[in-house]
Amino acid sequence: MKSILFRLSLAATLSGAMLTASAADTDHPTNKYKIDLPPSADLSYAIQAKQSGLTISGAGLVQWQVGDKNFSVKSETRAMIVGKILEASSAGAIDDYGLAPTQFVNKRFRKEATTTTFHRDNGTIRFSESDASYPLKGGEQDRTSIIWQLISVARAAPKQFKPGSDWIFFVAGMHDAEAWTFKVIKNEKISTPMGELETVHIFKAPPPDAKDQQLDLWLAPSLEWYPVRLRFTDPNKDYVEQNLQKISGKAGK
């Protein structure tokens, strides 16, 4: 049961695979995209998972808040019976590249919290869980902020956000960082707890030769491009799926 909850909490970070690249051999793209930040909101999700032959259900809450110069994202995931299995947060400023995180904190079930810090004063990314470090060149994200940076890019360039297009970001995890490529798959109508929605289906594959999770997400242009479905799939076809149930007003209200 413990290993199942660990894998569920990994998926619930709104990320993808465990990162294993080293600073020495990692490409570090600095793509500068136009952005249009979505409005602050609380997003409530229903979670269903199949892990090691067991079906697990739960709930997730993501609080997204943005101001003129700052942003924050907080997420919490709960599984039936055991309760809270993950807390994650990202906060920082907004600059010419979009979201500019200063700190990413991740707390998993029965684990100590990990902290990834973006030192804007000396231009480095450092980790509480490793000695790795990376330079800040502009546009770097963490595992929680990346989805919101992607949404902001899509909102700013909806006509360019078309099937076949690739969008590349440099993403820091709990131990290290690497380039992530998101590919727009197709426009797709899906059934959700909020009804039938026209969405843009986006795919992030694991790194080459890595046996990690793949991530599919569906953004709804009619709902500010919020993520209405996320699905994490393991190589053995186990999965975790999050479906949006409710959008509340501004975070904290």
**CA angle, corner 228, sides to 183 and 212, nearest 5?**
50
Report pLDDT digits (tens) over 121-167.
999 999 999 999 999 999 999 999 999 999 999 999 999 999 999 99
pLDDT given for residue 212 in this prediction: 66
Mean pLDDT of 69-79: 92
Q: Which residues pair with 77 in a beta bridge?
A: 60, 86
pLDDT given for residue 54 in this prediction: 80
Which pair of structure tokens corresponds to residue 212? 């990690």
The percent of residues in the chain predicted with pLDDT above 70, rounded, is 85
How far apart are the C-alpha atoms of 179 and 127, rounded to whole Å? 17
Which pair of structure tokens corresponds to residue 157? 């360039």
Assign 23 a pLDDT band (cuts: 50, 70, 90).
Answer: very low
Q: How far apart are the first and last CA of the chain?
A: 36
Domains in the chain, ordered, with CATH?
2-248 (2.40.360)
Q: Which residues, in sequence order, are CB contacts of 70 under 8 Å at separation 6+?
A: 91, 92, 93, 94
Does the CA dihedral 108-39-91-94 come out positive or negative? positive
Mean pLDDT of 32-49: 95
Task: Report the mean per-residue pLDDT for the chain.
Answer: 86
Instruction: Tell me, yes or no, if the pTM score tops 0.85.
Output: yes
